[in-house]
Amino acid sequence: ELKVEQNPLFLSMQEGKNYTIYCNYSTTSDRLYWYRQDPGKSLESLFVLLSNGAVKQEGRLMASLDTKARLSTLHITAAVHDLSATYFCAFDGGATNKLIFGTGTLLAVQP
């Protein structure tokens, strides 16, 4: 069964702190995606990681992929309130455009 385990499910952090969200997936895949979702909104693409060892950074967010460990991380540096949202990781479930999503991590950044 294709599965994605994401943790933590909920993360409350103070502004200025650092933290990491973990995403483990169950099968070999060299494509891993990170999305952001604001309440009541759609999914916004953050990162597409296409190969082992891939690292991408955008502002205070940095994502990495270790295909051997089947692990991706999303690191938040010096969090700000605007980063409060739900973050999803997903991997490609086959030869078509089928994404298998994690449970999501609700991030609440407190002032």
Partner 1 sequence: KAGVTQTPRYLIKTRGQQVTLSCSPISGHRSVSWYQQTPGQGLQFLFEYFSETQRNKGNFPGRFSGRQFSNSRSEMNVSTLELGDSALYLCASSSLPNNREQYFGPGTRLTVT
Residues that bind partner 1 (CB under 8 A): 31, 33, 35, 41-45, 48, 50, 88, 90, 93-104
Closest-CA residue to 33 (of 47, 44, 53): 47
In the complex with partner 1, the residue whose CB is nearer, 48 or 78, is 48
Least distance (Å) from partner 1 to the CB of residue 16?
30
C-alpha to C-alpha distances, 21 to 1, 88, 96, 97, 98, nearest whole angstrom: 23, 10, 27, 24, 23
Cβ proximity to partner 1: between 35 and 79 the closer is 35
Q: Which is nearer to partner 1, 43 or 71 (CB)?
A: 43
